[in-house]
Amino acid sequence: MQAPQGGPQRIPMENLSKPIFAQDEMGRPFIIVKDQGNKKREHGIDAVRSHILAARQIAKLLRTSLGPRGLDKILVSPDGDINITNDGATIMSEIQLSNEVAKLLVELSKSQDDEIGDGTTGVVILASSLLDQALDLIEKGIHPIKIANGFDKACKIATENLELIADEVKIDTESVDANLSKDSDLFKAASTSLGSKIVSKCRDKFARMAVESVLNVADLDRRDVDFELIKVDGKLGGSLEDSKVIKGVVLDKDFSHPQMPKQVTDAKIAILTCPFEPPKPKTKHKLEVESVEEFKNLQEYEQSTFKRMIEQVKQAGANLVICQWGFDDEANYMLLANELPAVRWVGGSEIEEIAIATKGRIVPRFEDLTPEKLGHAGTVREMALGTTRDRILVIEHCDNPKTVTALIRGSNKMIVDEATRSLHDSLCVVRNLIRDNHVVYGGGSAEISCSLKVAEAADKQQGIDQYAFRAFSQALDVVPTSLAENSGLDPIQVLTSLKAEHVKQKNAYLGVDCLGNGTNDMRQQFVIETLIGKKQQFLLATQLARMVLKINDVIISGKDQY
């Protein structure tokens, strides 16, 4: 098909159902790919509007879960498993989404959860509110890039205001026990983060667990917390009240023989990654036994090998063996006869945890076992799990005190999973306060203060920026209005009265009294959020809004065409 002199040949859309060979004005061939015309195309303001509507639906779903009076969601998996939670990160991770911007909101909540560990619901709601305000400005004819630049400037003013209204909490670096009392700031902060969770009836216990776990592994001089040393393990059986912190390692195992002692004190542990059995022939060889004498010789060889291995372990001074591999009944019987308790089939990650906790060395061969390579623990004991027959192995009072396991108990899997997520959020709050002990007060007080500050700055702006500043200010109001709405209050009346009191009293700590304690001063109620967490919320939400506003064209493969 030869193109005319005036330019390339125009191909009718109905002829695009199969590959077409064409030539341009220079005579160079090109191919029009099959189904290239079957593209669903969104452009300009239509693309932006569809993105913002998708974000609005996600925010509408999460808004009712914000705050201590937030409602729970039932999540049903494709297999029919039911999960009840109000944790924003969990809800976002379980939702099946097809829209691209909705998927960006999921990534946004993951970023907040990974970086801070708390505030995942608030960051999604704020990002969606910013996009809603931006859509109004776009429909008035303001360019999206101008709006995004204005949002960046307004976010900078808001974060600077957060630093001005921030307060410091007291952390006792001399005595760990002083931070575990109900009057300590760390305990109050951990308790506040659990107020909207399913474990609220055991809030004091879980708050103490969070503070104790973090302080046991924290380096207060360097203001650093190694989260890898804290393991949160949930087990069925018992109630939430039976949850506790174990200074050591918990294994989902028991001793290899039921007649072995259930407790070993002053344990010297041989940590082995070699099997308790004679060497086997390679896979390409085989061993044939043709007579009774040969079988007896093989049996004697096996027993002598077991005896030699056990003697090597005992000569090193070990009184407990933890082996990564299994061993048969004959080896198990000989371990029992030689009064050497053992645990088999311990996973690789658990082996590493035991080595870190007991300060032992992982030994790959029996010949390499020496007294210096043994781990040490004060007690190794089996523990029953209440109403179930399961047993766990508890290794505590180890040489390395900076190893902690938070053992969570519950009557069913749903309760245990939700309690695990709740404790994780509380652990993250305490960790963030160890890193930076500056806090802002909750109840929407920080958002209201920043909203007033940005609105004040908008009056001093000229040009398009003043519209973006006012839009940012109005977007921040979504947090206090959502808290008021979830608490059964009139959101507009509460917001206007709080803003008036902020200006009148010059008090940046006034927020929504969600629990009906009789005062709006969040400083008196000690409802706090970490400064780094709140700043991260503002920055991530603004960055996501900027990213969406810069998207102008979306092409999605499909059967329909516009």
Q: DSSP readout, 166-229?
A: -EE----SS-TGGGGSTTSHHHHHHHHHTTTSTTGGGHHHHHHHHHHHHHHHEETTTTEE-GGG
Contacts of 303 (CB under 8 A, 6+ apart): 330, 334
CATH number at residue 387: 3.50.7.10
Catalytic positions: 87, 120-121, 425
Same domain, 103 and 6: no
Residue 403: pLDDT band (50, 70, 90) is confident
Contacts of 279 (CB under 8 A, 6+ apart): none
Cα angle 427, 432, 437; round to 5: 125
Tell me whether residue 238 is in a domain.
no
Same domain, 7 and 52: no
Is residue 11 pLDDT above 60, yes or no? no
Q: Which residue has the higher pLDDT, 561 or 441?
A: 441
- Letter for the amino acid at 500? A
Paired with 230 in beta bridges are 404
Same domain, 260 and 370: yes
Q: Write the pLDDT tens digit of every residue in 75-103.
A: 888 888 888 887 777 888 787 776 777 77
Q: What are the Cα distances from residue 102, in Å, to 58, 61, 95, 96, 543?
A: 7, 12, 10, 10, 15
Report the SS3 class of residue 145.
helix
CATH number at residue 447: 1.10.560.10
Is residue 262 pLDDT above 80, yes or no? yes
Same domain, 269 and 351: yes
Same domain, 48 and 14: no
Q: Write the pLDDT tens digit of every residue in 15-64.
A: 444 445 555 556 555 545 444 444 444 555 776 777 788 788 888 888 88
Buried b / exposed e along 39-63 (16+ C-beta atoms within 10 A): eeebeeeebbeebbebbeebbeebb
Tell me whether residue 410 is in a domain.
no
Structure tokens at 553: 């064209």
Residue that finishes a domain, picked among 400, 429, 457: 400
Tell me whether residue 213 is in a domain.
no
Q: Write the pLDDT tens digit of every residue in 406-422.
A: 999 888 888 888 888 88
- Is the pTM above the cut of 0.85? no
Q: Which of 350, 363, 365, 344 is nearest to 395 (CA)?
A: 350
pLDDT for position 36: 43
d(CA 383, CA 70): 37
Instruction: Look at the chain and report how many structural domains it folds into.
Output: 3
Is residue 308 pLDDT above 60, yes or no? yes
Is residue 258 pLDDT above 60, yes or no? yes
The rounded percent of the chain whose pLDDT value lies above 70 is 86
Q: Print the domain residue range for 391.
A: 248-400
Q: For residues 425 and 382, is the Cβ–Cβ distance under 8 A?
A: no
Tell me whether residue 296 is in a domain.
yes
Tell me whether residue 472 is in a domain.
yes
pLDDT for position 8: 45
Q: What is the mean pLDDT of the chain?
A: 82
pLDDT for position 437: 85
Same domain, 28 and 53: no
Tell me whether residue 320 is in a domain.
yes
Same domain, 76 and 153: yes
Q: Hey, how many other C-beta atoms are within 10 angstroms of the C-beta on 290?
A: 7
Q: What is the mean pLDDT of residues 10-18?
A: 46
pLDDT for position 553: 67
Same domain, 278 and 322: yes
Q: Which of 281, 346, 270, 343 is nearest to 311 (CA)?
A: 270
Same domain, 102 and 25: no
Tell me whether residue 234 is in a domain.
no
Strand residue runs (E) in 344-444: 362-363, 375-384, 391-398, 404-410, 438-441
Q: What are the Cα distances from residue 245, in Å, to 216, 231, 250, 356, 553?
A: 10, 10, 10, 18, 53
d(CA 373, CA 375): 7
Q: Write the pLDDT tens digit of every residue in 345-390.
A: 898 888 988 998 899 999 988 888 899 999 999 899 988 876 557 7
Residue that finishes a domain, picked among 368, 400, 432: 400
pLDDT for position 9: 47
Same domain, 25 and 76: no
Q: For residues 345 and 367, is the Cβ–Cβ distance under 8 A?
A: no
Same domain, 1 and 67: no
Tell me whether residue 362 is in a domain.
yes
Q: Write the pLDDT tens digit of every residue in 466-524.
A: 999 999 999 999 999 999 998 888 989 999 999 999 999 888 889 998 877 788 888 88
Same domain, 100 and 145: yes
Q: What is the mean pLDDT of residues 445-468?
A: 89
pLDDT for position 40: 45
